Amino acid sequence: MAATDRPRSITASAECGDGTRPVRRSSAVRTAAGGAPGINKTISALTSAALALPGLASSVQAAGPMERQWDVGYFHYEEGGERMRVESLKQSLVLPLGDALDLTLNAVRDTISGASPIYNVPEIRCQDGRVFTAPVISVSGASGNAEPSGTRPERPPLNTGDCRLGSARQVMLEDTFQDVRSAGDFKLNYYRGDTSLGLGAGVSREQDYDSRFLSLDLRREINDKLTTLAFGYSLASDTFSPLNKPDFSGDKDAHQILLGLTQVLGRNDLLQINLTLGYDQGYLTDPYKNVYLLSTNAAIDESRPDSRRQWNLLARYNHYFTAFKAALHLDYRYSRSDWGIDAHTLEAAWIQPLGQGWHLIPRLRYYTQSEADFYQSYFETLPASGDYSSDYRLAGFGALGGGLKLTRQVTSQARLDLGVEFYDRQSAYGLQEHADSAFADYGFTVYSLNLHLEF
Amino acid sequence: MPACHLVFKAMGSPCELHLHGPDAAETRRVAESVIADVQRLERRYSRYRDDSLTSAINRVAAVSGRCEVDAETAALLDYADTCYRESDGLFDITSGVLRRAWRFENACAPEPEAIAALLDRVGWDRVVWKRPFLSFGRPGMEIDFGGIGKEYAADRAAALCLDAGIRNGLINLGGDVRVIGPLPDGDPWRIGIRDPERPETLLGGVLMTGGALATSGDYARFLRIAGRRYGHILDPRTGWPVLGLVSVSVIAASCLVAGSLSTIAMLRGRAGIEWLRSLDIPHLWIDAEGGRGGSGVFADLLKTPG
C-alpha cells in the first residue's frame, strides 16, 4: 500500500517542502588534487579574506561546470510507535561536459513499510465508567478490517447525560505491505559568463503513484558577483491510481515559480531571500484517508478542494564567525495557502570545523502551522462546502526537530557524512489557534550515512 | 581554439599568459587588459616606486601618522591581518624594514644592535587598522605588500579572464601560477617545479586543471653564517632569517592562499613541515639539508626518480 503520509524526500523532512535550495554553490574551483578550500581553519580564514578582495569572489566562486563527483547515501527513516519505516538508497553523479555544461544524474530507491492513520474516532465515556469507541459502519478505504455491511453497530445514546464524547483516537491502516518507490532525474546546467541555465526532468514510480516533472532555472550574477538573481519554474504531473479504488485514477498538476535573491553582505555575511509561488490543480485528495461522521456512524472518503494556491517566503542569513572559524545558518520560512494553512519555520545550524578534516553540524528547527479551513478531527455532519478532511497533516500543530551531522574529509577526494535527525510533532507546540490534535502526536528519527567522492 | 601567448616583465619578474578563447582578437584584448591590470597593481603597490600608494602610506608611517585607504587597499590590509593572525604573528607586512640590516651581498651577519633597533619598528600589533583608517604606533615603521601583491595580481588576472569568458588559461607571474580550466582539448596543464639544488633543472611537473600553485623560498639568495644557510625570509620576532626550509610549494584554490600558506610554512622553519601536513593540501617542502617531502600530486613527483 502506498503510504502518502511519508515525506517524499527524507532529508527535507515532513512539512517544509518548498523546494528552495541555496543558489550559490560552494567553491567550484578545480585544483590538481581536487583541493577542498575551507576544510582547514587556516585555509578557510585565508580564503574568506581573499574572497573579499575586489573581483576575486568571482574567480574563486566562478560559475562553471561542477567537478566530477559521486555521492552514495543510505537513509533509515523510522516513526515512533511502530508506524512507517523507510529505507532509502540514493546516489548522485555529477559529470562535467566540456567547459560550459555539467550533468547531474540522481537515482533513489525507497522501501516503505508500516502503518499509517486513516481517520479518527471519538471515544464515548459514560458515567458508569464504560468507554466505547464509536463503532464504524463501513470503511471505504483500503483497510481489510472494515466491518461487514448489513448489521448496524450499537452505540450508546449520546447527550442523554450518561454518556458523552471524549477525545479522539486514530484508526490505523495496519500492515501496509511493502511498497517500493524508484525515482530518477537529470539536470543539465549550462554556464555562460555570469549566467547559468538549468534544465531538469525526472520520473518517480510507485505501485499506485506516478510522477513526472520538469524544471527550468536561470541564475544571473550581477554587482561584481555579490548579487545572484534566480528564477525557476517547475511542473510536476502526477497520476494517483489508488489500490482501494480499482477503476479510478486521479491526475494532478503542480506548478511552481521561484524568485530568488542572494546577496553577499561582506566577507562574513550572506543573505538570501526566495519567494515561491505554487499552484496545484486536480486530484489533491488522499484516497487512503477517511473522515468519521458522527451523525451516521460511518467513515467515508475525505474530499479536498481541487486546487491549491500557496506561497512561501524563505529568508536565510549566513554568518561566518572568524573567532570560532565556524558558520551560523539562520532560516526563517513563512508559508501561506488558500486552504487556510499558515506556517512558520525557524531553523538554525552551526557548522563547526574540528580540525583534521572533521566537521560537526548541529541543527535545530521549530515549526508551527494553523489548521486547514476544512479540517476537523471528526465531523458531526458533512459541511456544506463539500470539502472535509481529518488528515493529521492538515491539523494545527507544532513540531521540534533537530539533528547532528558529523563529517570527515578522509582524503582530499573522499568525505564521509554521518547524521541523525529527530522530529517531534505535538499539537500543544502549535502557536496558532487550533483544535487539539494530540491524538495524532508522533515523532520520527532519520539516520543517514553518505559517501562523497570527487574523482 | 585560437591561443594567445604573451610574455612580459612585471613586479620584477618574468611573467607569461597563455589564454585560449573562441575569438583570437577578443582573446588578445583580454590578455592586454590582464597585463594592464598587473601593471596597475605594480604601480599602486610597489615599494620601489616613489609614486606608489605603498610609498605614500610609508611616508605617513615614517612620522607615526594616520591615513585613510581605499576599498581595495583595505581588503589587502584585511587579508594581511588574517595572515598575521593565522601565522601567530610570523607573517607580518611591517617586517620589511628589517631588510635594511640584511644585505645579502655581504657575507656576514649584521650587528645585534642594528637588528634590535629595527625590531622596535616592526609589528603589525603596533599598527591600528580600523577600516578605512590605518595608523602607526611608532615612527619609522613601513609596510609592504611584497608577500601578497603578486599573488593578488594573479588571482585578479584569473578573475578578469573568467569574466571575459575565458575558460582555458594559465597565468604565471614570476612563479606564482594560476590555472583556469584545462587545456582546450581537456588535457591538464603541466607545470614544472624547479629543483632548488640545481636551479637550471626541473624536479618534475605537476598536472593542474584549476587552482593555483605558489612557491616561497629563494635558493638563489642566501647567506652562509657559521655553516648555516640563511634565506632572505626574515622572522619578525628575532629579526633573523628563518632556518630550516629552503623552498615550499603549495597548491590551493587561489594564488593568494597558496602563496600565504607557503610563506607561513617557510616562516615556521622545520615546524612548517608538520603544519603543512595538518593543512591536508598538496604541498612540497625542501629543507636546507636537501631533504624533501610532500603530499598530493607532489608525493607522486617525489616518487618518480630524476
| DSSP element (H, E) containing A51 | helix A41-51
Residue of A60, A61, A410 to mutate, testing the B interface (most B Cβ within 10 Å of its Cβ) = A60
- Asked if the model's pLDDT at residue B220 lies above 90, the reply is no
- Asked if the model's pLDDT at residue B150 lies above 50, the reply is yes
Distance of alpha carbon B81 from alpha carbon A318, whole angstroms: 23
Mean pLDDT of B186-191: 86
Cβ of A188 under 8 Å from any chain B Cβ? no
Q: Single out the residue of B256, B112, B110, B217 nearest to residue A52, CA to CA.
A: B256
Topology of domain B3-39+148-302 in CATH is: T-fold (3.10.520)
- Predicted complex ipTM: 0.84
Pairing between β-strand B202-208 and β-strand B168-173 as defined by DSSP bridges: unpaired
- Asked if the model's pLDDT at residue A453 lies above 80, the reply is yes
The Cβ of residue B63 has, within 10 Å, a number of other Cβ atoms equal to 11
Chain A hits for B297, CB-CB cut-off 8 Å, are 32-33
Q: Single out the residue of A330, A56, A300, A87 nearest to residue B148, CA to CA.
A: A56
Domain coordinates in residue numbering, chain B: 3-39+148-302, 53-136
For residue B199, what is its C-alpha cell? 636551479
Cβ of A32 under 8 Å from any chain B Cβ? yes
Cβ of B256 under 8 Å from any chain A Cβ? yes
Residue whose C-alpha cell reads 597548491 in the numeric block: B251
Type of residue found at A273 = I
| DSSP element (H, E) containing A402 | strand A397-411
Mean pLDDT of A99-107: 91
User: What pLDDT does A37 receive?
Assistant: 36
Mean pLDDT of B12-25: 90
Min Cα distance B112 → chain A (Å) is 34
Higher pLDDT, A148 or B204: B204
Mean pLDDT of A134-149: 50
The 3-state secondary structure of A89-151 reads EEEEEEEEECCCEEEEEEEEEEEEEEEEEEEEEEEEEECCCCEEECCCCCECCCCCCCCCCCC
Helix (H, G, I), strand (E, B) or coil at A41: helix
- Asked if the model's pLDDT at residue A36 lies above 90, the reply is no
Beta bridge partners of A170: A120
User: What pLDDT does B105 receive?
Assistant: 65
**pLDDT band per the 50, 70, 90 thresholds, residue A151:** low
Distance of alpha carbon A384 from alpha carbon A382, whole angstroms: 6
For residue A279, what is its C-alpha cell? 499552484
Sheet containing B127-130: which strands, arranged edge to edge?
B66-68, B133-136, B127-130
User: What pLDDT does A160 receive?
Assistant: 67
Chain A hits for B279, CB-CB cut-off 8 Å, are 40, 42-43
User: What pLDDT does A10 receive?
Assistant: 36
**pLDDT band per the 50, 70, 90 thresholds, residue A175:** low
**pLDDT band per the 50, 70, 90 thresholds, residue B221:** low
**pLDDT band per the 50, 70, 90 thresholds, residue A26:** very low
Distance of alpha carbon B207 from alpha carbon A376, whole angstroms: 66
User: What pLDDT does A59 receive?
Assistant: 53
Query: Inter-chain contact A60–B297, Cβ cutoff 8 Å?
Result: no
pLDDT, tens only, A111-120: 988 888 888 8
User: What pLDDT does B254 receive?
Assistant: 92
Residue of A56, A194, A321, A359 to mutate, testing the B interface (most B Cβ within 10 Å of its Cβ) = A56
User: What pLDDT does B231 receive?
Assistant: 73
Of B162, B208, B251, the CB nearest to A59: B162
- Asked if the model's pLDDT at residue B53 lies above 60, the reply is yes
**pLDDT band per the 50, 70, 90 thresholds, residue A320:** confident
Q: Is the bond preceding residue B132 a cis peptide, omega within 30 degrees?
A: yes
A16-20, A184-188, B115-119: least confident range: A16-20
Nearest residue on chain A to B162, alpha-carbon basis? A59
For residue A144, what is its C-alpha cell? 481489510
Type of residue found at B294 = G
Higher pLDDT, A269 or B259: B259
Distance of alpha carbon B161 from alpha carbon B169, whole angstroms: 8
The Cβ of residue A350 has, within 10 Å, a number of other Cβ atoms equal to 15
Phi, psi of A285, deg, nearest 5: -75, 150
**pLDDT band per the 50, 70, 90 thresholds, residue A136:** low
- Asked if the model's pLDDT at residue B203 lies above 90, the reply is no
Query: Inter-chain contact A31–B71, Cβ cutoff 8 Å?
Result: no
Phi, psi of A441, deg, nearest 5: -60, 140
Type of residue found at B291 = G
**pLDDT band per the 50, 70, 90 thresholds, residue A32:** very low
Distance of alpha carbon A28 from alpha carbon A62, whole angstroms: 7
pLDDT, tens only, B222-264: 667 777 777 778 899 998 888 889 899 999 989 999 999 999 9
Residue of A39, A56, A59, A324 to mutate, testing the B interface (most B Cβ within 10 Å of its Cβ) = A59
Query: Inter-chain contact B280–A357, Cβ cutoff 8 Å?
Result: yes
Q: What is the mean pLDDT of chain A?
A: 83
pLDDT, tens only, A41-90: 788 788 888 877 776 765 554 456 777 899 999 999 999 888 889 999 99
User: What pLDDT does A269 receive?
Assistant: 85
Chain A hits for B280, CB-CB cut-off 8 Å, are 39-40, 356-357, 409, 412
Distance of alpha carbon A289 from alpha carbon B54, whole angstroms: 74
Q: Single out the residue of B272, B225, B263 nearest to residue B244, CA to CA.
A: B272
- In terms of Cβ atoms closer than 10 Å to its own Cβ (0-12, 13-18, 19+), residue A91 is middle
User: What pLDDT does B304 receive?
Assistant: 59
CB B181, CB B167: distance < 8 Å: yes
- Asked if the model's pLDDT at residue A11 lies above 60, the reply is no
Higher pLDDT, A33 or B56: B56
Q: Give the rounded percent of residues in chain A with a pLDDT score beyond 90.
A: 52
Nearest residue on chain B to A37, alpha-carbon basis? B253
- Asked if the model's pLDDT at residue A171 lies above 80, the reply is yes
Distance of alpha carbon A415 from alpha carbon A449, whole angstroms: 11
User: What pLDDT does A166 receive?
Assistant: 78
In the stretch 155-174 of chain B, residues with CB closer than 8 A to chain A read 155-156, 158-160, 162-163, 165, 167-168
Pairing between β-strand A442-454 and β-strand B127-130 as defined by DSSP bridges: unpaired
Mean pLDDT of B16-26: 90
Cβ of A360 under 8 Å from any chain B Cβ? no
Mean pLDDT of A357-363: 91
- Asked if the model's pLDDT at residue A16 lies above 50, the reply is no
Distance of alpha carbon B79 from alpha carbon B124, whole angstroms: 12
Residue whose C-alpha cell reads 630524476 in the numeric block: B306
User: What pLDDT does A15 receive?
Assistant: 36
Distance of alpha carbon A429 from alpha carbon A442, whole angstroms: 12
For residue A323, what is its C-alpha cell? 573567532
Residue whose C-alpha cell reads 550581477 in the numeric block: A222
Distance of alpha carbon B66 from alpha carbon B134, whole angstroms: 6
- Asked if the model's pLDDT at residue A7 lies above 80, the reply is no
Max CA separation in chain A (angstroms): 83
Could you report how far apart the first and last alpha carbons of chain B are, in Å?
Answer: 34
For residue B201, what is its C-alpha cell? 633543472
For residue A115, what is its C-alpha cell? 502503518
Q: Single out the residue of B241, B237, B286 nearest to residue B262, CA to CA.
A: B286
Quote the distance between the C-alpha of residue A367 and its chain's center.
Answer: 12
Q: Single out the residue of A333, A329, A361 nearest to residue A348, CA to CA.
A: A329
Query: Inter-chain contact A33–B251, Cβ cutoff 8 Å?
Result: yes
Distance of alpha carbon A236 from alpha carbon A58, whole angstroms: 34
Distance of alpha carbon A307 from alpha carbon A285, whole angstroms: 10
For residue B37, what is its C-alpha cell? 591590470
**pLDDT band per the 50, 70, 90 thresholds, residue A3:** very low
Q: CATH classification of B53-136 is 3.40.30.10, yes or no?
A: no
User: What pLDDT does A144 receive?
Assistant: 39
Chain A hits for B208, CB-CB cut-off 8 Å, are 31-32
